[in-house]
């Protein structure tokens, strides 16, 4: 069919009219809207095919799905275009030019007569793709220049507006773009201004992607805006039920989820939860959201609920059963408890520690990244360490009998402690590659009441040694 002139025809008011013609047919003077009989009279060998209702939409949809390989956000713009949001995609094909070439070439080799353009706004890209003659790539912020020489219909205007423009002699965008907005509005209505603003990037043009980029998303539009906590609860319950059924069938569990509430005043309020372990249990996730409900401010009302699960992970249902009732860090009940606590008091209040390979006491433990992370090294037990370690060592006044002897008396918070027994010193060198300062000589001392402390002298014993209290032993 590549070298043959062909047209699609459809009956219209007792006539058979051409709805679309291929480029070869067009060069022979055939255009859509012409009567099929006339076209046949002009050319020989014209293939006439029946137009099937909705066929082009279906075809475009399929093409759009195919285009997802180039960008996750693709949308169909009837009757004949596809819009791709290519932010951050082109570098994979080595720049915008190569990217564009690749798409157009692929489409052309599969037999489509495709044109493409890249611009900051949908409007400009559409205009250049359809009517542009110079370059298909419009540089950043150059929309106005790109549009100037294009015909007025490049702005995706309605037919009556177009006719009016033509009647008044405004054939190109250049001819009316300078006219004050109020005048344009009076003559041609809001539609023209909107399209112009959209093409120039003044007005936002939202698109609904063919396939949502977040794979686990549930929407719940409300018949009427809701305001009460109870209604929000019901919404969350419904959303969770549908998303959890889906997750369960795919063997996945939520790690992070966000509830977006679209309010009627145009703002979005969000509530997020995260779990320590993938979960598709409605009751557990509902509990986590339940702690957040008070933070959702419905204002005048919420008209749309959107539940997104940006982070999911595979969970093994068999394994879950295995762990139930077994105490330890793998316990599901424990993970659920920690999720709940994190929801109320914040995840940064919960700590778990692992041994770190440092002798310096403040650095000898590190935070565990996850609940199930196991220690890479063993816990050191050789040296006495206090059960309570002060976050910052506190200076104390100390008397020692002889230099380098353990202290005899020390005063802490105005109270004198007479030391009866002492162990030490244990010298801990500062890690000079991490910070500068003196080493510490630690002594474990016991006062006359049997209370035990961890004292250290900073640096060598000189004229005015500095002593600190760093911890308490049991």
Partner 1 sequence: MANAKRELINRLQKDILQWEGYRPPTAAKKEMFGLGAIEAAFPNNIFPTGTVHELVCDNTEQATASTGFVSGLLAVLMQNGGACLWISLSGNVFPIALKAFGIEPDRMIFVHLRKDKDVLWVMEEALKCAGLSAVICELSEVDFKQSRRLQLAVEQSRVTGFILRNRSKKMSSTACAARWQIKSLPSEPIDGLPGVGFPRWNVELLRVRNGQPGNWTVEWCGGNFRLVERQVLAQELQNVG
Residue 2 or 378 having the CB closest to partner 1: 378
Which residues, numbered 291-330, are part of the site for partner 1 (CB under 8 A)? 326-329
- Contact partners, residue 405, CB within 8 Å, separation at least 6: none
Distance separating alpha carbons of residues 30 and 38, to the nearest angstrom: 9
Residue 62 or 294 having the CB closest to partner 1: 294
Distance separating alpha carbons of residues 358 and 55, to the nearest angstrom: 70
The nearest distance, CB 449 to partner 1, in angstroms, is 6
What is the Rg, in whole angstroms, of the alpha carbon atoms belonging to the chain? 37
Residue 344 or 427 having the CB closest to partner 1: 344
Paired tokens of 175: 């001819």
Is the bond leading into 379 cis (omega within 30 degrees of zero)? no
C-alpha of 129 from chain center: 30
The nearest distance, CB 427 to partner 1, in angstroms, is 17
**String marking each residue 435-474 x if it binds partner 1 according to CB under 8 A:** ---------xxx-xxxxx------------------xxxx
Distance separating alpha carbons of residues 432 and 298, to the nearest angstrom: 55
> Looking at 202, 390, 399, 418, which residue binds partner 1 (CB under 8 A)?
390
- Cβ neighbours around 369 below 10 Å, total: 9
Q: Establish how many alpha carbons lie within 13 A of residue 382's alpha carbon, considering only the half-sphere containing its beta carbon.
A: 4
Paired tokens of 233: 């609860």
Residue 390 or 438 having the CB closest to partner 1: 390
Residue 193 or 365 having the CB closest to partner 1: 365
The answer to whether residue 425 forms part of the interface with partner 1 (CB under 8 A) is: no
The nearest distance, CB 63 to partner 1, in angstroms, is 53
Q: Cβ distance 136 to 116 under 8 Å?
A: yes
What secondary structure letter does DSSP report for 45?
S
- Contact partners, residue 105, CB within 8 Å, separation at least 6: none
The nearest distance, CB 474 to partner 1, in angstroms, is 2
Residue 69 or 380 having the CB closest to partner 1: 380
**String marking each residue 355-384 x if it binds partner 1 according to CB under 8 A:** x-----x--xx--x-----xx---xxx--x
Piece in contact with partner 1 (CB under 8 A), picked from 101-109, 167-175, 214-222, 345-353? 345-353
Q: How many residues bind partner 1 (CB under 8 A)?
A: 55
Which residues, numbered 176-195, are part of the site for partner 1 (CB under 8 A)? none
The nearest distance, CB 337 to partner 1, in angstroms, is 4
Residue 62 or 411 having the CB closest to partner 1: 411
Determine how β-strand 6-12 pairs with β-strand 47-50: parallel
> Looking at 63, 389, 409, 428, which residue binds partner 1 (CB under 8 A)?
389
- Cβ neighbours around 200 below 10 Å, total: 17
What 3-state class would DSSP assign to 386? coil
Helix ranges, 201-275 (H): 229-250
> Looking at 34, 114, 334, 428, which residue binds partner 1 (CB under 8 A)?
334
Distance separating alpha carbons of residues 23 and 1, to the nearest angstrom: 12
Piece in contact with partner 1 (CB under 8 A), picked from 51-59, 84-92, 307-315, 419-427? 419-427
Q: Is 91 exposed, middle or buried (0-12, 13-18, 19+ CB in 10 A)?
A: exposed
Q: Cβ distance 441 to 369 under 8 Å?
A: no
The nearest distance, CB 351 to partner 1, in angstroms, is 4
> Looking at 159, 349, 369, 434, which residue binds partner 1 (CB under 8 A)?
349
> Looking at 71, 90, 124, 332, which residue binds partner 1 (CB under 8 A)?
332
Q: Cβ distance 415 to 390 under 8 Å?
A: no
Helix (H) or strand (E) holding 253: strand 252-263
> Looking at 102, 331, 426, 466, which residue binds partner 1 (CB under 8 A)?
331
The nearest distance, CB 425 to partner 1, in angstroms, is 12
What secondary structure letter does DSSP report for 111?
T
The nearest distance, CB 399 to partner 1, in angstroms, is 19
The answer to whether residue 386 forms part of the interface with partner 1 (CB under 8 A) is: yes
- The residues binding partner 1 (CB under 8 A) are 326-329, 331-334, 336-338, 340-341, 344-345, 349-355, 361, 364-365, 368, 374-375, 379-381, 384-391, 420-423, 444-446, 448-452, 471-474
């Amino acid at each position: 069919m590549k070298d043959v002139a062909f047209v699609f025809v459809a009956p219209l008011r007792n006539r058979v009219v051409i709805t679309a013609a291929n480029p070869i047919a067009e060069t022979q003077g055939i255009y859509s809207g012409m009567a099929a009989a006339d076209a046949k009279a002009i050319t020989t060998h014209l293939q006439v095919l029946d137009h099937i209702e909705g066929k082009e939409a279906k075809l475009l949809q399929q093409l759009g799905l195919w285009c997802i390989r180039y960008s996750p956000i693709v949308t169909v713009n009837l009757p004949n275009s596809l819009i791709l949001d290519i932010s951050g995609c082109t570098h994979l094909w080595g720049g915008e030019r190569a990217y564009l070439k690749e798409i157009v070439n692929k489409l052309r080799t599969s037999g489509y007569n495709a044109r493409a353009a890249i611009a900051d706004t949908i409007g400009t890209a559409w205009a250049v793709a359809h009517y542009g003659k110079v370059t298909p790539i419009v540089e950043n912020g150059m929309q106005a220049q790109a549009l100037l020489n294009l015909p007025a219909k490049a702005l995706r205007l309605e037919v009556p507006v177009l006719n009016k423009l033509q009647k008044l002699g405004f054939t190109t965008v250049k001819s009316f773009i300078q006219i004050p907005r109020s005048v344009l509005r009076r003559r041609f209505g809001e539609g023209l201004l909107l399209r112009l603003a959209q093409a120039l990037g003044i007005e936002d043009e939202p698109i609904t992607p063919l396939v949502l980029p977040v794979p686990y998303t549930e929407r719940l539009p409300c018949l009427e805006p809701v305001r009460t906590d109870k209604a929000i609860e019901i919404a969350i319950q419904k959303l969770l039920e549908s998303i959890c059924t889906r997750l369960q069938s795919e063997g996945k569990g939520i790690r992070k989820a966000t509830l977006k509430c679209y309010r009627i005043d145009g703002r979005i309020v969000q509530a997020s939860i995260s779990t320590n372990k993938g979960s598709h249990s409605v009751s557990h996730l509902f509990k986590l959201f339940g702690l957040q409900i008070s933070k959702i401010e419905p204002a005048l009302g919420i008209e749309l609920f959107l539940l997104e699960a940006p982070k999911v992970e595979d969970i093994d249902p068999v394994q879950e059963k295995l762990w139930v009732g077994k105490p330890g860090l793998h316990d599901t009940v424990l993970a659920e408890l920690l999720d709940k606590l994190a929801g109320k008091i914040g995840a940064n209040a919960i700590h778990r520690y692992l041994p770190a390979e440092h002798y310096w006491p403040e650095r000898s433990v590190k935070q565990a990244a996850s609940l199930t992370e196991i220690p890479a090294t063993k816990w050191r037990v050789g040296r006495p360490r206090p059960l309570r370690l002060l976050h910052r060592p506190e200076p104390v006044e100390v008397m020692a009998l002889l230099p380098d002897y353990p202290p005899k008396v020390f005063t802490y918070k105005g109270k004198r402690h007479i030391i009866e027994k002492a162990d030490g010193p244990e010298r801990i060198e500062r890690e000079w590659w991490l910070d500068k300062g003196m080493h510490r000589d630690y002594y474990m001392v016991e006062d006359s009441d049997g209370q035990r402390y961890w004292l250290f002298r900073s640096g060598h014993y000189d004229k005015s040694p500095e002593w600190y209290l760093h911890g308490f032993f049991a």
